[in-house]
Copies of this chain bind each other. A is one copy, B any other.
Amino acid sequence: MAGTVTVPSPSVPSTPLLKDELDIVIPTIRNLDFLEMWRPFFQPYHLIIVQDGDPTKTIRVPEGFDYELYNRNDINRILGPKASCISFKDSACRCFGYMVSKKKYVFTIDDDCFVAKDPSGKDINALEQHIKNLLSPSTPFFFNTLYDPYREGADFVRGYPFSLREGAKTAVSHGLWLNIPDYDAPTQMVKPRERNSRYVDAVMTVPKGTLFPMCGMNLAFDRDLIGPAMYFGLMGDGQPIGRYDDMWAGWCMKVICDHLSLGVKTGLPYIWHSKASNPFVNLKKEYKGIFWQEDIIPFFQNATIPKECDTVQKCYLSLAEQVREKLGKIDPYFVKLADAMVTWIEAWDELNPSTAAVENGKAK
């Protein structure tokens, strides 16, 4: 591994949650000064930095953080020909970090995201909230009108079936953004000055059967439960599309979570998204996606995974075949993407032989 540096820090809080069970994955092309603001919350954890773009460039990481860093040369060396499934010049490359992590949980954050404040003015420990979200159950099978029933001061309301109150395991926690909202290029263009200033104090489960737009900016998940479905697709350099990496992962992941009865939460925590990306550049990247998503959404809404698929890998390979068959008709890109989805699973299993073995054992 390139650039592995471990510096124990004296300022580590006494008992950070899941300290040895969670990696923070950060894709970047620049010096990681943004970590200074996150120091009180992130320093106890191990970072996996995925350096995008020119591998000869040196990325500066503030002192005191424990991290490993991978650039494109590392990715090519580790994955060999399978490196083709990892995007280049697009933040989709972050999923390489999910693959090399050895931890149960992953939190991923963009380097233009800062610590937000709650309405009382207190700094929000986004990571802590994600961990709380992941460690408490979800409620995908029935809607609770008072939001997260497991939260202090809340519960299931009248009319909520008692047999469903145990909930489901939570696979994904999707956090939101204050300041710059995650808009597409057309909306950015129409509303250049819109800022999100509304703090909605809620975490909710995205119901079973419902798709949502998953943003990769502020996202945590349980690698053991859903890791192999968190592939961010083929985007950026050499590809006809960008900015659909997290969406793609979100749609695939949600269909698989629904199949495996796993939960997906959205809402808290907020981060402060500091700056809007260029809407003209974004429009160029999104252009085809804006058309394609009109077919992709119905495709995922109607996708069913065969009953015998009882592992994430099997579910994902089934989806890959459906993508090839049904979306391949829209554009040859989707055939290439389906190939990459298969390669991704092969690479995942290669780097995570124990999981692969367990999964195969389970399947017998």
Chain B residues whose CB sits within 8 angstroms of the CB of A60 once the complex forms: none
- A→B interface (CB under 8 Å): 119, 142-147, 153-164, 174, 176, 181-184, 186-187, 191, 194-202, 206-215, 243-244, 246-247, 250, 266, 286, 290, 293-294, 297
Contact A153 B294 (CB under 8 A): no
Chain B residues whose CB sits within 8 angstroms of the CB of A197 once the complex forms: 153
- State the Cβ distance, A195 to closest chain B Cβ, in Å: 8
Chain B residues whose CB sits within 8 angstroms of the CB of A162 once the complex forms: 186, 290, 294
Chain B residues whose CB sits within 8 angstroms of the CB of A202 once the complex forms: 200, 202
Q: CA separation between A207 and B282, bound complex, in Å?
A: 29
- State the Cβ distance, A50 to closest chain B Cβ, in Å: 21
Contact A183 B158 (CB under 8 A): yes
Q: List 7 A-B contacts (CB under 8 A).
A: A142-B211, A143-B206, A143-B212, A154-B181, A155-B183, A161-B294, A163-B294
Contact B157 A183 (CB under 8 A): yes
Contact B147 A200 (CB under 8 A): yes
Contact B213 A157 (CB under 8 A): yes
Q: CA separation between A53 and B195, bound complex, in Å?
A: 53
Contact B213 A145 (CB under 8 A): yes
Q: CA separation between A44 and B64, bound complex, in Å?
A: 65
Contact B215 A145 (CB under 8 A): yes
Chain B residues whose CB sits within 8 angstroms of the CB of A195 once the complex forms: 153
